[in-house]
Amino acid sequence: MPLAIRRFPDSILKERTKSVDEIDTRVRALINRMIDLMRRQPHCVGLAAPQIGSSARIAVMDATGHPKVKESRGLIVLVNPLVEQAEGRVVGREGCLSVPDFTGNVARAARVRVTALDQFRVRFTVTLEGFEAVVAQHEIDHLDGMLFLDRVVSPTDVFRRKTYL
């Protein structure tokens, strides 16, 4: 099954996702495809289900090896995630596979506490800081139909990506 990345302005990226009722083999297969796709994209640290055309409330992230991360928590699977607490503020440049031509400066909480289920139906709570906190907020935004373009700090904080021919 081909998994084309949905790109802005595809309408699925603007839709709120639906909670996952049961983490069955079909849902697990979707999660595995998302992890695989995230790992195959260079510099990709997260992926949300709407980006591959699914309206399930699922995201995956893994910032291992990213220069902005000192100590990564590794792979995090987020099924039905909820941000329970958010503190502080950081502004940073963000990009997205679904918005390949632009980056933008976005303000995010510096620290978030997120509760979710993993792919084995285990409920967990994780506190993330810095870059990983930003990634989690970016991915959870996707699940609420929001893109980083909706959150740039000002209209002049959107930048066309340089292309090298």
* Minimal distance, residue 126 CB to Zn ion, in Å: 19
- The reply to whether 139 belongs to the active site is yes
Q: How many helices (H) and strands (E) does the chain have?
A: 2, 8
Distances in whole angstroms, Cα of residue 149 to Cα of each of 76, 100, 103, 105: 24, 12, 8, 9
Residue in the shown chain whose Cβ atom is closest to Zn ion: 96
Cα-to-chain-centroid distance, residue 3: 17
Pair 78, 60: CB distance under 8 Å? yes
Taking the complex as a whole, the smallest distance from the CB of residue 46 to Zn ion amounts, in Å, to 7
Q: Is the dihedral of CA 7, 74, 90, 82 positive or negative?
A: positive
Q: Which of residues 130-149 bind Zn ion (CB under 5 A)?
A: none
Q: Which of 45, 56, 60, 96 binds Zn ion (CB under 5 A)?
A: 96
- Provide, rounded to whole angstroms, the least separation between the CB of residue 88 and Zn ion: 22
Closer of 22 and 83 to Zn ion (Cβ): 83
Which window, 55-63, 80-88, 93-101, 102-110, contacts Zn ion (CB under 5 A)? 93-101
Residues annotated catalytic, as ranges: 139
Where does this chain bind Zn ion (CB under 5 A)? Answer: 96
